[in-house]
Each structure stands twice: as C-alpha cells, then as structure tokens.
A = this chain, B = another copy of it.
Amino acid sequence: MTYTIGQVAERFGLSEYTIRFYDKQGLLPFVKRNAAGRREFTDDDLKTINIIVCLKECGVKISEIHHFVDMLMAGDDTLEDRLAFFKQQQENALEQLERQKKNLSKLDFKVRYYTAAVYEGTEAGIDGDCDVPNCPITVNGKVFDQDQVG
C-alpha cells in the first residue's frame, strides 16, 4: 500500500506545499518515486513522518530534524546518538509542558479576574496574583466567590 502526496497531506493536516518543502529541506530522503517521478509514500514512511510532525510540534527546528533523519538513514551505527537525541527532546518537551501548565494557570487566573470585573462592572478594586496557583480574587479586599456569578 502506497500513498500520494495529497493523501499524506490530508492525513497529517499539512499542505502539499509543506510536504514538498520538507522534502526539499532533506526531511524525507526515504520517500521513493514511481516511474513518472511522483512520490510514493509507504506505511513505513508515514510512521517516520508521524515522528517528524511530532518533533515539529515540539518546536524542533527543521535543521535539527534533518540531522535526525540523516542519522536514521545512516543505520544502526547511529542508534546511540538517536537515543540521546530523543532523551534530549523528551526533556525539552517535559520542560515545555511545565511552562504550558504555568501559563494555563495564569490564564485561569485571568478568567476569574475578569469574571469578577464583569460582575462588578469595573476593574477598580479587583486584585490577586496571577503567579500564585489558584490565587483567590479579591474585590476591595474581600474574596470574590466565583459561584455567585452563575
């Protein structure tokens, strides 16, 4: 079973442009062509692209992914380097996850903050620290109860 560039684009939610761009950047040297010169993606190719997309979403630069793909093509000699690569990416992704949790907590605060502000009709007198997890919102010094809104 093989797939065309259009099918692959569809599957991963990328444009065909993007896939050709990745190919041009050396991210898809494993993709074979048919007699007419068209790309034919195998199931194995899709597995690899799945990881490439994952790395992409984790914020890994194309040049770094290129480096990984190079190792992939080089075979078993690069297994240790690839393990080290993924350990590094794992660490980065975990860090990113923690940052994202912190940011989400700040946004949660802001939603509560503005819920209180809308309820009061003004921002004046509303307080709290968005960096403190689940920090209560106060209105003129008194804790604001979010449940009174609903």
Contacts and interface: CB of A to CB of B under 8 A. Distances in A.
Interface of A: 47, 50-51, 54, 57-58, 75-76, 79-80, 82-83, 86-87, 89-90, 93-94, 96-97, 99-101, 103-104, 106-108, 110-111, 114-115, 117-118, 121-124, 130-131
What is the oligomeric copy number?
Answer: 2
Nearest to A57: B103
Given A76-B122, A123-B76, A114 B82 contact: yes
Nearest to A114: B83
A104 to B, nearest CB: 5
Nearest to A47: B130
A111 B90 contact: yes
Contact of A107 (B58, B82, B121): B58
